[in-house]
């Protein structure tokens, strides 16, 4: 439904539910500025209108809009000055668009410092082959495996090798960045074809595209369509495409079949969690060059390798904590007893290691006796929306995931919704002791 028609219908229904004085005072000069899948932006005359409508009429507005559209939306009230300022800001952003190409590659990640073992040898060999002959072999190259096993390292290594050994243009992006680019451009451009062309040139006028964590494209249907066309353009021009994911193409159920089919056109390789031998090799490699590395006994390497089985990031975190503890305590040697003491709150107990968004959603759903689907739904009733806000808060506080990713995992909500939830729970924790106990209990449930 068009914005003007929706708001006109809303006002007609509203007139029958409130007095004419209230209507003229609070709603006569309002209008609907924007409407998307999750939010309505409503312009009001004055700042005091914002607060009053939010405090007094929010539920009624939501009820009427839901009845008219069949959907529930987050509501945002803004005044004309804010609209003007936002339009000015967007114009400046378009004017200042940096057309200088940036590959986004991290020079620290190379083939030389990628530690090879049986769990990643096939993926590493395929990555080297692609880097040496981009666009001519294994196109696309699809690398999958759980988080923290080296997929991103290999992708950057491919990009860095190509840049150093040719004049080819290389671009590395995460799927979240691709989505944000696409949404951001579409919000600004509508009829500005120069900016549309900029977007297409950025992603299609390149020789090698590396796109990380493609699974997050699953909840963005329009962006999937754009990526489909980008993929076709690059593939038909014999440009190299490298894709990573936490699951295989067959398991990307939220992606369109036509995309999954194309992902299978080339070579699919997986990376497994490192075995004990490889974990020891990784630890020794990560410790090289550190001033206290010579103090670390072999038994410490084996202790960490035995207890940090999840991924490479877990190993790196253990090293960082061990070295920090050594810097404070100044030991003559770092033996097993020292390591056990240094890592006692890290190994086997850390919510930051065992946590991910899915685990938090399950823990919240179990605690509040709802379903994960409820958390991802558009439902706004209190027994769903409040647990959803707690879940978003926990994801923000106890994982390293971005606000964009958290929003995507909760029914494709935008970043402002996630920030609002986090701010609300943060403020409530200052005065609500019961909520503090609940969150601690949920954290313990996740860890245990």
d(CA 56, CA 51): 8
The domain covering 121-270 belongs, at the CATH homologous superfamily level, to P-loop containing nucleotide triphosphate hydrolases (3.40.50.300)
The confidence score (pLDDT) of residue 193 equals: 47
Measure Cα distances from 83 to 41, 42, 88, 396 in Å.
10, 10, 9, 29
What residues does CATH 1.10.1750.10 cover in the chain?
352-447
What residues does CATH 1.10.8 cover in the chain?
276-349
d(CA 393, CA 405): 13
The confidence score (pLDDT) of residue 143 equals: 97
Q: Is the Cβ–Cβ distance between 125 and 117 less than 8 Å?
A: no
What residues does CATH 3.40.50.300 cover in the chain?
121-270
Largest CA distance in the chain: 82
Pick the CATH number of 352-447 from 1.10.3470.10, 3.40.50.300, 1.10.1750.10, 3.40.50.150: 1.10.1750.10
The DSSP bridge pattern shows strands 74-79 and 39-44 to be parallel
The confidence score (pLDDT) of residue 218 equals: 80
Pick the CATH number of 276-349 from 1.10.10, 3.30.160, 2.130.10, 1.10.8: 1.10.8
The confidence score (pLDDT) of residue 195 equals: 52
> For the chain, what's the residue count?
448
The confidence score (pLDDT) of residue 444 equals: 82
Q: In tens digits, what is the pLDDT along the chain, a chain of 448 residues?
A: 576 888 999 999 999 999 999 899 899 889 998 887 678 989 998 988 888 999 899 999 999 998 888 888 889 999 988 877 776 665 565 445 444 578 999 999 999 999 998 889 999 999 999 999 999 999 999 999 988 899 999 999 999 999 999 999 999 999 989 988 888 776 655 444 455 666 777 888 899 999 999 998 887 788 898 899 999 999 999 999 999 998 999 889 889 999 999 999 999 999 988 888 888 999 999 888 788 888 898 888 988 888 887 788 889 889 999 999 998 998 889 988 898 889 988 875 544 444 578 889 999 999 999 999 999 998 889 899 999 999 999 988 877 677 778 888 898 888 888 888 988 998 888 888 899 899 888 988 887 6
Q: Is the Cβ–Cβ distance between 90 and 188 less than 8 Å?
A: yes
The residues, any chain, with a CB within 8 Å of residue 372's CB and separated by 6 or more, are 361, 362, 365
- Fold of the CATH domain 3-95: GMP Synthetase; Chain A, domain 3 (3.30.300)
Residue 176: CB atoms within 10 A of its CB come to 20
The residues, any chain, with a CB within 8 Å of residue 295's CB and separated by 6 or more, are 326, 331, 332, 333, 334
Residue 364: CB atoms within 10 A of its CB come to 25
Q: Is the Cβ–Cβ distance between 52 and 26 less than 8 Å?
A: yes
Strand partners, 128: none
What residues does CATH 3.30.300.180 cover in the chain?
3-95
Token representation of residue 218: 């699953």
The confidence score (pLDDT) of residue 253 equals: 87
Instruction: Using the Cα atoms of residue 348, residue 352, residue 358 and residue 364 in order, give the sign of their dihedral.
Output: positive
Residue 21: CB atoms within 10 A of its CB come to 8
């Amino acid at each position: 439904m068009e914005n003007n028609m929706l708001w006109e219908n809303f006002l007609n229904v509203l007139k029958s539910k409130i007095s004419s004085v209230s209507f003229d005072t609070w709603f006569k000069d309002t209008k609907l500025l924007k409407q998307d899948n999750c939010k309505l932006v409503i312009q009001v005359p004055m700042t005091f209108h914002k607060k009053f409508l939010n405090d007094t009429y929010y539920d009624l507005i939501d009820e009427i809009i839901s009845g008219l559209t069949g959907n529930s939306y987050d509501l945002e009230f803004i005044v004309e000055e804010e609209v003007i300022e936002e339009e000015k800001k967007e114009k400046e952003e378009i004017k200042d668009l940096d057309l200088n190409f940036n590959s986004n590659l991290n020079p620290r990640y190379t083939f030389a410092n990628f530690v090879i073992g049986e769990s990643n040898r096939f993926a590493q060999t395929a990555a080297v082959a692609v880097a040496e002959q981009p666009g001519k072999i294994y196109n696309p190259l699809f690398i999958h495996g759980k988080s923290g096993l080296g997929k991103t390292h290999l992708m950057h290594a491919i990009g860095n090798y190509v840049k150093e050994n040719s004049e080819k243009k290389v671009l590395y992006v995460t799927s979240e960045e691709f989505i944000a680019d696409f949404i951001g451009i579409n919000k600004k451009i509508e009829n500005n074809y120069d900016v549309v062309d900029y977007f297409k040139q950025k992603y299609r006028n390149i020789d090698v595209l590396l796109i990380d964590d493609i699974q997050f494209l699953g909840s963005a249907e329009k962006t999937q369509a754009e990526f489909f066309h980008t993929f076709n353009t690059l593939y038909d021009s014999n440009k190299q495409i490298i894709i990573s994911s936490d699951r295989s193409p067959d398991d990307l159920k939220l992606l369109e079949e036509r995309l999954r089919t194309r992902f299978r056109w080339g070579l699919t390789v997986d990376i497994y969690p490192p075995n004990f031998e490889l974990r020891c090799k990784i630890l020794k490699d990560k410790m090289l060059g550190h001033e206290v590395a010579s103090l670390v006994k072999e038994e410490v390497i084996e202790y960490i390798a035995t207890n940090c089985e999840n991924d490479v990031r877990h190993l790196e975190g253990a090293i960082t904590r061990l070295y920090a503890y050594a810097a404070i305590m100044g030991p003559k040697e770092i033996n097993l007893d020292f390591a056990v003491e240094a890592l006692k709150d890290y190994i086997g107990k850390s919510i930051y290691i065992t946590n991910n968004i899915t685990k938090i959603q399950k823990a919240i759903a179990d605690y509040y006796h709802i379903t994960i689907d409820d958390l991802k739904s558009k439902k706004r009733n209190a027994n769903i929306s409040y647990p959803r806000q707690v879940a978003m808060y926990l994801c923000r506080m106890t994982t390293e995931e971005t606000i964009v990713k958290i929003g995507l995992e909760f029914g494709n909500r935008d970043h402002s919704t996630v920030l609002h939830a986090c701010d609300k729970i943060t403020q409530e924790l200052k005065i609500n002791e019961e909520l503090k106990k609940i969150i601690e209990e949920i954290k313990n449930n996740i860890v245990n």
